[in-house]
Amino acid sequence: MGRLLNGIFGGFSGKVGDAEGYVINGVNYIRGKKKIGKRKRRPKTVAQSKMCAVNAFIDSMTDFAGEGFRLAVKGKLYNGSNMNKNNAAKSYQLNHAITGIKANWKIDYSAVRLTEGNLSPALSPTVTSNNEGIRFNWEYNPRTDFETGSNQVMVLVYCPASNQSFYTLYGAHRSTGTYVLEIPPTLKGMELETYISFITEDRNSIANSVYTGKIISEATISGLKEGKTVNTTITAEKPVYRFTWKRHTIMTLPFLVKNKYVT
Q: Model confidence over 76-111: pLDDT tens digits?
A: 666 556 678 999 999 999 999 999 887 788 999 999
CA distance 75 to 71: 6
- Spell out the residues 6+ positions from residue 262 whose beta carbon is closer than 8 angstroms to its own: 228, 229, 231
Q: Which pLDDT band holds residue 62 (cuts at 50, 70, 90)? A: very high
C-alpha distances (whole Å) from 101 to each of 31, 38, 46, 113, 114 are 46, 30, 9, 21, 24
Distance, CA of 23 to CA of 263 (rounded, Å)? 81
pLDDT of 233 reads 28
Euclidean distance between CA atoms 61 and 120, whole angstroms:
23
Q: Above 70 in pLDDT, residue 30?
A: no
Residue 151's alpha-carbon distances to 104, 173, 210, 216, 223, in angstroms, are 39, 5, 15, 28, 26
- Look at residue 6 in the predicted model and tell me its pLDDT: 59
- 163 neighbors 66 (Cβ within 8 angstroms): no
Quick check: 196 and 212 in contact, CB under 8 A? yes
Query: What mean pLDDT is predicted for residues 126-140?
Result: 95
**Residue 146's pLDDT is what?**
85
Residue 171, pLDDT score: 96
DSSP string, 197-218: EEE-TTSS-BBPPEEEEEEE--
Q: Is 165 helix (H, G, I), strand (E, B) or coil?
A: strand
Q: What backbone phi and psi angles, to 5 degrees, belong to 239? A: -85, 160
Average pLDDT over residues 49-55: 91
Identify the pLDDT of residue 101: 81
59 dihedral zone (left: phi>0; alpha: psi -120 to 50; beta): alpha
pLDDT: which is higher, 23 or 196: 196
Q: What is the pTM of this model?
A: 0.69
Name beta bridge partners: 133.
Answer: 182
Mean pLDDT of 61-68: 96
CB contact at 8 A, 167 and 61? yes
Question: Domains, the chain, ranges and CATH?
Answer: 3-32 (no CATH), 46-262 (2.60.40.10)
Positive or negative torsion for Cα 24, 26, 27, 29: positive
Give me the amino acid identity at 91: S
Instruction: Give the pLDDT band (50/70/90) at residue 178.
Output: very high
Name the DSSP class of 43: P
d(CA 260, CA 9) in angstroms, rounded, equals 94
Say yes or no to pLDDT of 130 above 80: yes
Range list of H helices, the chain: 46-58, 62-74, 85-96
pLDDT category of residue 26 using cuts at 50, 70 and 90: low
For residue 192, give Cα distances in angstroms to 106, 129, 219: 15, 10, 12
pLDDT of 189 > 60? The answer is: yes
Closest CA to 198 of 167, 237, 153, 161: 153
Query: Which has more confidence, 110 or 223?
Result: 110
